[in-house]
Amino acid sequence: MAFNVLIIDDSSTMRSLIRKIMGIAGFPVGQYFEGANGREALEILNHECVDVILTDLNMPEMDGKALLQTIRGKTDWKDLPVILITTERRPEILSQYSRLGFQGIINKPFRPETIKQVLSEIMGEPDVATIAESEGCDF
């Protein structure tokens, strides 16, 4: 089964990098959708079928926290998996993000296998292929 993935980050380079890493990781993607902030994400969600969201936290117009709160407030989207991609490493802050309703947190820099592992755990996709350490790289 392939999943439709929405990537939200104000950096087009980071969005492109996440797409590339998901390809390297071998996570089954049907379609990618992209936005530069939470407002763009909501517009996409109103028009497209999305299975999982990967979002940055700090973005202009609407940040990742406000996006998550809006999604959790909508009946149609309240169970939509939202994964935070962040540079934050302080355990107390990461715990706070988890309590807000992010199903997963991926720290930057990250490896392809990390993205696949988190997505597989959340989406229920079995981890059938492991990327060899020699092929891994940090992004």
Q: Is 72 helix (H, G, I), strand (E, B) or coil?
A: helix
Pull the structure tokens for residue 96.
Answer: 């706070």
Domain range annotation of the chain: 3-123
Q: Do the beta carbons of residue 88 and residue 56 sit within 8 Å?
A: no
Q: What length does the chain have? A: 139
Tens digits of residue pLDDT in 37-72 = 999 999 999 999 999 999 999 899 999 999 999 999
Six-digit token string for 53: 């969201």
**pLDDT tens digits for range 90-132:** 888 888 888 888 999 999 888 888 998 999 899 985 444 433 3
pLDDT at 48: 97
User: Which amino acid, one-letter code, is at 1?
Assistant: M
What is 3-123's CATH number? 3.40.50.2300
pLDDT at 125: 57
